[in-house]
């Protein structure tokens, strides 16, 4: 069937895009230093912090998502959109923000200082987990809320009739849903944290907090030991691949039901439960929002001082984001299946540094790679965002297929008609969210620009980095605010487009 | 698609610009950005050369090693001595053809291939409003009170971080590992690069940062702020040289030579302090801007040449890593 | 003529077979106990499921291997018969064309079909704005426009109240008579069969048999059907 063919071709393309550079780098390398004790220590730490980050993110997301799913309050839509914010923040900005709140000189410690308490240092594994949870909690929360909206209303009403409360409610209704949603969420966060590098190092407090990505970075940029870089990248990829396969397989197929974002009827409600929910939601808003507010506060006054170079880079970043998003969605639509998601997640698995180097070597054979810098950036952005987009799109996509394939087949809808009349319109809400996530991620991505050279084609994050490198910290902070506002703005726009007029669905 | 038109544009541009010779200079990001020395240097050189100077920013060494002899570069600017042995082993570079005696550096410069164009001393920079007694030695770092921490760069990912471990190694020799162990509790964290570390410093997270003795010049000149000071150690500092070199396989040999000569000229050297915030390599102190001449400067240099640096590198890094991993 | 020959269906533990069934032009009810496989039979005829063995012939041509869209079949499911995000007009239009442009001729036919099922003037509504009965009518209108000689219905009016259901059945009978289609309608209520279906196909005890005269079958039901209709003892 045509759908199958397109899916296979797309999957093969993505796999090739990810594996070919890796193979190229490997083949290009001459000698290689062995993987030493330091590297194994890095591997251990990497896996440990990834597991813990994923675990904590999921753990905190469960009650938060429950609270959000069953409450309706003024501004809820904004909160749901804002929940996407931390995830799409550029790493640099998120770290700045978190430190502004939790760092030695941050709000918390300054407040503690007023009471004469010694400053609490988050530098160490706690800091790493803090930032990782800050990034990923919102994503998992949103996935679980989506999961809640797919629980059939009848199940909840039945639970109400049976008077299920507390643990029974959890076991009968919530747990099955979580078993479908959490494993892939866990998997994807694990994979994201696997390639964490600057965050881990800076907040980790020192070389104890070395990750594989740092070892790859060192091997590549400083030792120029391509073989070692490729070997390490392979190990990283194997870990990520295993995680992807395991968690996607556990999650199983989606069942038929409504995908409307309606309020989840809670059978046994109580003011104490509502109060608890309120606490969770408030805590989340503070924890996630305060760093963002601090970033804005620190940089907003410097915005008028930014020159054309920065604004030009901002414009360029927006264009790149648009192209990357279009490409990513085009790749994602055929891959919204189990295997598609496994392949899609592969994009995250391989170190972007190695991917970039491999592509550089491949392109070099027939063209000047520097001319292709922007194009390669778009392609890599698309591939790196693919796992998230697939995680967002796959459950509703499967529901659509379960509900409407027969009708479409009996009407003889070909692949294009299916896309146009059924698939894309019905995917509007998650599509908007996915587009927003991709666009924002692309905005904040330093990308392979680093290797491919910049000349006049700098993106906004790179400009911020250049400002920092030239001592202009205030302007860098201002640039960060611009990046933040643009990223959030684009995300909110796409998400809003997706949510508009969805009530008829 | 965008890159196709970009590629097409480059093809047409290079065809059309065949008359104006192009000098390709590979330089690091901070060099070519609007706020670095790049634009002024480009303008100054193009006035005299009747050519088009094109900067290409990005990672220097990996790119060169990936490109090999078929590289487009005519000049490479921005390497430092701790990596020159590796760069030299690529056999990509030709002698710089300039007179080393014209250089004004704390050490005797004997290298014929790599030419320093600016330099400064690696040193700790501290916030004088928090660290009230000036730091004058490594021991003073060890005696910093609890609330005042140091942030440094990782020698495995940062060139300034590497300079630091080599400095400690040159100062303490076999005792370097023990020193790191004693310093470890005072280190707030280790960052990937200089930018992140300096950002943590200016945000107040750390009271002391590893940087260069010329860093305070920026704050004095651009911000009128003299609270950020360099700690000058009597025992000596590690000098940090930034180098320019001519690529052997250049397709513009005369132009490249002209550029190398330009590097030594006053036109180039006077641009350096206010754009790259370091000392010009070929100008005597009398010619430096006031703010730079007034900066406290170490009395002696503790230096490892490129071979010593390359030999000591792995040991020094490993000692650092084990000490801080405890 | 629709002929089903030597059909064997296996799905896990479930199996069903038929020797030779010839549904008649007009309405054939499909009766049988729950879980017997009535829906499965329709599914196989439509092409959504495949038999292990057997042939389905239409006018002498073997259509067993054809994909659903290429069979001369139109089907009404139990639910999800309309796309909720499209207007009734657009939903029905999909039977005629998949393009966004609707020709004047097609436009007329769509309005005619809406009129025929009593939904004139509601073309711009979306399914969420219609009652259950209206949704059934809209689905029927679409099936009319598909104008296939074989029409399969899987308990399409099960959720409607008695009066409404009878109205829809009568409408269906009318439409079927006009188009001369061969209709197979799964129903739980033998009265439905009596009302509009001259013939009945029986699915029980892992066998499909038919087509019988409805009245005869219901007056003298075989054991499996008798249990289903009147209970044992």
Give CA–CA dist A90/A317, Å, rounded. 13
Query: What is the reported pLDDT for C84?
Result: 87
Residue A504 forms part of a structural domain: no
Give CA–CA dist C182/A83, Å, rounded. 55
pLDDT of B280 > 90? The answer is: yes
Find the range with the poorest average confidence among A4-18, A415-429, B188-202.
Answer: A4-18
Angle between helices A2-28 and A308-332 (to 10 degrees): 130
| CA triple A218-A221-A224, angle to 5 deg | 95
Query: What is the reported pLDDT for A455?
Result: 57
Contacts of A417 in chain C (CB under 8 A): 98
Average pLDDT of chain C, as a whole number: 89
Q: Are residues B221 and B247 in the same domain?
A: no
- Interface C:B, ≥3 CB–CB pairs < 8 Å: no
Residues C103-107, mean pLDDT to the nearest whole number: 94
pLDDT of A81 > 90? The answer is: no
Q: Are residues B174 and B274 in the same domain?
A: no
Q: Are residues B156 and B247 in the same domain?
A: no
Residues A446-465, mean pLDDT to the nearest whole number: 71
Query: What is the reported pLDDT for A199?
Result: 83
Query: What is the reported pLDDT for B278?
Result: 93
pLDDT of A28 > 80? The answer is: no
The percent of residues in chain B predicted with pLDDT above 70, rounded, is 94
Residues A374-380, mean pLDDT to the nearest whole number: 84
Chain C nearest CA to A156, separation (Å): 22
pLDDT-derived band at A459 (thresholds 50, 70, 90) equals confident
Nearest to A505 among C81, C85, C98 (CB): C85
- Which residue of C39, C45, C94 to mutate against A (max A Cβ within 10 Å)? C94
Residue A471 forms part of a structural domain: yes
User: pTM to 2 decimals?
Assistant: 0.82
pLDDT-derived band at A202 (thresholds 50, 70, 90) equals confident
pLDDT of A254 > 80? The answer is: no
Residues B181-203, mean pLDDT to the nearest whole number: 92
Give CA–CA dist B121/B119, Å, rounded. 7
| Terminal-to-terminal C-alpha distance of chain A | 27
The percent of residues in chain C predicted with pLDDT above 90, rounded, is 42
Average pLDDT of chain B, as a whole number: 88
Query: What is the reported pLDDT for C24?
Result: 87
Give CA–CA dist C128/C84, Å, rounded. 7
Q: Are residues B172 and B229 in the same domain?
A: yes
pLDDT of A258 > 50? The answer is: no
Which residues lie below 8 Å from residue C110, measured CB to CB, with a gap of 6+? C89, C92, C93, C96, C102, C123, C145
Find the range with the poorest average confidence among A36-45, A428-437, A483-492, C83-92.
Answer: A36-45
> Which CATH number covers residue B319?
3.40.190.10
Q: Do B325 and A206 touch (CB under 8 A)?
A: yes
Average pLDDT of chain A, as a whole number: 83
Query: What is the reported pLDDT for A447?
Result: 62
Chain B nearest CA to A207, separation (Å): 6
Residues A462-480, mean pLDDT to the nearest whole number: 87
pLDDT of A442 > 90? The answer is: no
**pLDDT tens digits for C42-53?**
999 998 888 999
DSSP helix/strand/coil, A262? coil
Q: Are residues B112 and B8 in the same domain?
A: yes
Q: Are residues B162 and B264 in the same domain?
A: no
Query: What is the reported pLDDT for A32?
Result: 58
Q: A121 is in which domain, residue-wise?
A: 2-499
Query: What is the reported pLDDT for A265?
Result: 67
For B239, phi then psi, to 5°, come to -80, 145
Task: State which residue of chain A sits closest to B61, comparing Cα positions.
Answer: A221
pLDDT of C136 > 70? The answer is: yes
Query: What is the reported pLDDT for C228?
Result: 80
Contacts of A323 in chain B (CB under 8 A): 2
Q: Does 3.40.50.2300 match the CATH number of domain C1-72+149-233? A: no
**pLDDT tens digits for B254-277?**
999 999 999 999 999 999 999 999
Query: What is the reported pLDDT for C165?
Result: 87
Nearest to A201 among B35, B55, B154 (CB): B154
Contacts of A429 in chain C (CB under 8 A): none
Find the range with the poorest average confidence among B229-233, B277-281, C210-214.
Answer: C210-214
Q: Are residues B53 and B199 in the same domain?
A: no
pLDDT of A385 > 90? The answer is: no
Contacts of C69 in chain A (CB under 8 A): 409-413
pLDDT-derived band at A448 (thresholds 50, 70, 90) equals low
pLDDT of A371 > 80? The answer is: no
Contacts of A206 in chain B (CB under 8 A): 184, 187, 189-190, 324-325
**pLDDT tens digits for C151-210?**
999 988 887 888 888 888 999 999 899 889 999 999 888 888 999 999 999 998 899 998
Nearest to A413 among C47, C98, C128 (CB): C98
- Tokens 């409407």 sit on residue: A404
pLDDT-derived band at C54 (thresholds 50, 70, 90) equals very high
Domain with CATH 3.40.50.300 in chain C: 1-72+149-233
pLDDT of B123 > 90? The answer is: yes
Query: What is the reported pLDDT for A15?
Result: 85
The count of domains in chain B is 2
pLDDT-derived band at A226 (thresholds 50, 70, 90) equals confident
pLDDT of A475 > 80? The answer is: yes
Give CA–CA dist C186/C156, Å, rounded. 8
Higher pLDDT, A157 or B218: B218
**pLDDT tens digits for A63-74?**
999 998 888 788
DSSP 8-state code for residue A424: H
Q: Are residues B141 and B192 in the same domain?
A: yes
The count of domains in chain A is 1
Residues A119-127, mean pLDDT to the nearest whole number: 88
Q: Do C126 and A421 touch (CB under 8 A)?
A: no
Quick one: tokens of B160? 């300034």
The percent of residues in chain B predicted with pLDDT above 90, rounded, is 58
Find the range with the poorest average confidence among A224-238, B140-154, C7-21.
Answer: A224-238
Residue A169 forms part of a structural domain: yes
pLDDT of A260 > 80? The answer is: no
pLDDT of B208 > 90? The answer is: yes
CA distances from A156 to A151, A162, A170, A275 (A): 8, 10, 11, 21
State the pairing for strand pair C26-31/C182-186.
parallel
pLDDT of A501 > 80? The answer is: no
Q: Do A104 and B205 touch (CB under 8 A)?
A: yes
Contacts of B62 in chain A (CB under 8 A): 220-221, 224, 357, 451
Higher pLDDT, A250 or A49: A49
The percent of residues in chain A predicted with pLDDT above 90, rounded, is 19
Is-contact A220 B218, C-beta < 8 A? no
Query: What is the reported pLDDT for B32?
Result: 87
Q: Are residues B14 and B81 in the same domain?
A: yes
**ipTM at complex level:** 0.84
**pLDDT tens digits for B125-146?**
999 999 988 999 999 999 998 8
State the pairing for strand pair C53-58/C26-31.
unpaired
pLDDT-derived band at A504 (thresholds 50, 70, 90) equals very low
Query: What is the reported pLDDT for A207?
Result: 87
Quick one: tokens of C77? 């499911």
Give CA–CA dist A27/A275, Å, rounded. 60
Q: Are residues B168 and B234 in the same domain?
A: yes
For A36, phi then psi, to 5°, come to -95, -175
Residue A505 forms part of a structural domain: no
Higher pLDDT, B2 or B66: B66
DSSP helix/strand/coil, B319? helix
Give CA–CA dist A198/B190, Å, rounded. 10
Query: What is the reported pLDDT for C233?
Result: 47
Higher pLDDT, B164 or A87: B164
Per-residue b or e along C47-60, where b marks 16 or more CB atoms closer than 10 Å to that residue's CB: bbeebeebebebee
Q: B219 is in which domain, residue-wise?
A: 120-238+300-324
Q: Does A425 touch chain C (CB under 8 A)?
A: yes
pLDDT of B14 > 60? The answer is: no
Touching partners of B (3+ C-beta pairs < 8 Å):
A
Q: Does A451 touch chain B (CB under 8 A)?
A: yes
Q: Are residues B190 and B318 in the same domain?
A: yes
pLDDT of A83 > 90? The answer is: no
Residues C94-121, mean pLDDT to the nearest whole number: 91
Query: What is the reported pLDDT for A502?
Result: 63
pLDDT-derived band at A256 (thresholds 50, 70, 90) equals very low
- Interface A:C, ≥3 CB–CB pairs < 8 Å: yes
> Which CATH number covers residue A197?
1.10.3720.10
Query: For residue A213, how far is the Cα from the chain centroid?
Result: 17
Query: What is the reported pLDDT for B11?
Result: 55
Q: Are residues B262 and B275 in the same domain?
A: yes
Query: What is the reported pLDDT for B4?
Result: 57
């Amino acid at each position: 069937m045509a759908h199958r063919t397109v899916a296979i071709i797309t999957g093969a393309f993505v796999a090739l895009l990810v594996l070919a550079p890796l193979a190229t780098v490997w083949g290009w390398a001459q000698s290689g230093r062995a993987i030493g004790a330091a590297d194994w220590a890095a591997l251990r730490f990497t896996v440990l912090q990834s597991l813990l980050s994923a675990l904590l993110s999921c753990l905190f997301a469960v009650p938060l998502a429950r609270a959000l799913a069953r409450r309706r309050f003024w501004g809820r839509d904004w909160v749901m959109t804002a929940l996407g914010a931390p995830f799409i923040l550029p790493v640099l900005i998120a770290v700045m923000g978190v430190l502004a709140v939790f760092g030695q000189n941050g709000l918390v410690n300054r407040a503690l200082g007023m009471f004469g308490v010694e400053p609490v240092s988050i530098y160490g594994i706690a800091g790493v987990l803090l930032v990782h949870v800050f990034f990923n909690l919102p994503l998992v929360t949103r996935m679980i809320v989506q999961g809640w909206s797919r629980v059939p209303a009848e199940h909840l009403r039945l639970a109400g009739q049976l008077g299920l409360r507390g643990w029974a409610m959890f076991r009968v209704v919530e747990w099955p849903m979580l078993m479908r949603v959490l494993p892939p969420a866990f998997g994807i966060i694990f994979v994201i944290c696997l390639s964490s590098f600057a965050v881990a190092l800076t907040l980790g407090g020192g070389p104890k907090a070395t990750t594989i990505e740092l070892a790859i970075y060192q091997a590549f940029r400083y030792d120029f030991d391509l073989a070692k870089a490729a070997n390490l990248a392979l190990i990283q990829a194997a870990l990520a691949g295993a995680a992807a396969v395991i968690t996607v397989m556990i999650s199983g197929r989606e069942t038929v039901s409504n995908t409307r974002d309606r309020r989840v009827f809670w059978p046994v409600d109580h003011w104490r439960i509502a109060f608890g929910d309120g606490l969770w939601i408030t805590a989340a808003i503070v924890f996630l929002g305060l760093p963002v507010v601090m970033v804005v506060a620190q940089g907003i006054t410097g915005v008028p001082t930014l020159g054309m170079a920065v604004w030009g880079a901002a414009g360029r970043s927006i264009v790149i984001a648009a192209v990357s998003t279009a490409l990513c969605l085009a790749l994602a639509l055929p891959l919204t299946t189990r295997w598609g998601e496994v392949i899609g997640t592969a994009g995250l698995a391989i170190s972007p540094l190695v991917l970039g180097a491999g592509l550089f070597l491949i392109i070099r054979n027939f063209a000047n790679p520097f001319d292709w810098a922007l194009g390669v950036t778009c392609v890599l952005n698309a591939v790196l965002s693919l796992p998230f987009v697939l995680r967002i799109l796959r459950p509703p996509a499967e529901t659509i297929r379960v509900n409407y394939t027969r009708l479409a087949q009996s009407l003889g809808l070909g692949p294009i008609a299916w896309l146009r009349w059924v698939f894309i319109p019905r995917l509007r809400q998650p599509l908007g969210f996915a587009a927003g996530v991709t666009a924002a991620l692309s905005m904040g991505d330093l990308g392979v620009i680093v290797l491919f050279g910049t000349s006049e084609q700098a993106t906004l994050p790179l400009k911020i980095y250049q400002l920092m490198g030239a001592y202009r910290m205030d302007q860098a902070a201002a640039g960060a605010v611009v990046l933040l506002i643009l990223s959030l703005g684009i995300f909110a726009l796409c998400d809003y487009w997706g949510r508009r007029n969805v009530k008829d669905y | 698609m965008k890159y196709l038109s970009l590629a097409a544009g480059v093809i047409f541009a290079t065809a059309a610009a065949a008359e104006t010779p192009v000098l390709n200079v590979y330089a690091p990001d901070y060099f070519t950005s609007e706020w670095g020395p790049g634009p002024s240097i480009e303008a100054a050189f193009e006035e005299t050369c009747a050519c088009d100077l094109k900067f290409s920013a990005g990672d220097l060494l990996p790119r060169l090693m990936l490109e090999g002899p078929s590289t487009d570069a005519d000049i490479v600017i921005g390497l430092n001595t701790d990596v020159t042995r590796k760069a030299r082993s690529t056999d990509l570079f030709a002698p710089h053809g300039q007179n080393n005696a014209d250089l004004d550096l704390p050490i005797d410069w004997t290298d014929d291939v790599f030419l320093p164009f600016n330099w400064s001393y690696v040193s700790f920079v501290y916030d004088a409003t928090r660290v009230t007694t000036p730091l004058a030695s490594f021991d003073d770092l060890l005696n910093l009170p609890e609330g005042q921490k140091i942030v440094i760069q990782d020698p495995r990912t940062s060139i300034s971080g590497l300079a630091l471990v080599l400095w400690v190694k040159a100062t303490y020799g076999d005792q370097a590992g023990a020193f790191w162990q004693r310093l470890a509790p005072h280190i707030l964290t280790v960052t990937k690069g200089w930018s992140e570390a300096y950002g943590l410093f200016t945000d107040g997270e750390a009271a002391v940062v590893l940087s260069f003795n010329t860093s305070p010049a920026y704050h004095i000149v651009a911000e009128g702020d003299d609270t950020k000071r360099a700690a000058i150690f009597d025992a000596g500092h590690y000098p940090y040289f930034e180098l320019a070199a001519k690529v052997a396989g250049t397709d513009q040999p005369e132009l490249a030579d002209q550029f190398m000569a330009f590097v030594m000229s006053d036109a180039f050297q006077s641009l350096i302090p206010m754009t790259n915030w370091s000392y010009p390599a070929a100008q005597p102190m009398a010619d430096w801007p006031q703010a730079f001449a007034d900066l406290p400067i170490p009395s002696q240099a503790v230096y490892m040449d490129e071979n010593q640096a390359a030999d000591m590198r792995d040991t020094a890094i490993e000692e650092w890593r084990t000490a801080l991993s405890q | 003529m629709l002929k089903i020959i030597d059909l064997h269906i296996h799905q896990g533990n479930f199996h069903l077979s038929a020797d030779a069934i010839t549904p008649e032009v007009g309405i054939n009810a499909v009766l049988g106990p729950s879980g017997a496989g009535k829906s499965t039979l329709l599914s196989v005829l439509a092409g959504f499921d495949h038999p292990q063995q057997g042939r389905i012939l239409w006018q002498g041509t073997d259509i067993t291997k054809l994909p659903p869209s290429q069979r001369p079949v139109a089907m009404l499911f139990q639910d999800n018969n309309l796309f909720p995000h499209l207007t009734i007009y657009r939903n029905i239009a999909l039977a005629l064309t998949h393009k966004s442009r609707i020709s004047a001729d097609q436009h007329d036919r769509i309005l005619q079909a809406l009129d025929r099922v009593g939904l004139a003037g509601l073309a711009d509504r979306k399914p969420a704005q219609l009652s259950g009965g209206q949704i059934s009518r809209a689905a029927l209108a679409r099936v009319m426009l598909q104008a296939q000689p074989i029409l399969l219905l899987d308990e399409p009016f099960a959720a409607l109240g008695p009066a409404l259901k009878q109205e829809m059945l009568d409408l269906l009978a009318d439409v079927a008579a006009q188009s001369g289609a061969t209709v197979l309608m799964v129903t739980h209520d033998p009265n439905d069969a009596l009302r509009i279906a001259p013939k009945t196909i029986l699915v029980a005890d892992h066998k499909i048999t038919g087509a019988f005269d409805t009245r005869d079958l219901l007056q003298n039901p075989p054991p499996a059907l008798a249990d289903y209709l009147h209970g044992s003892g």
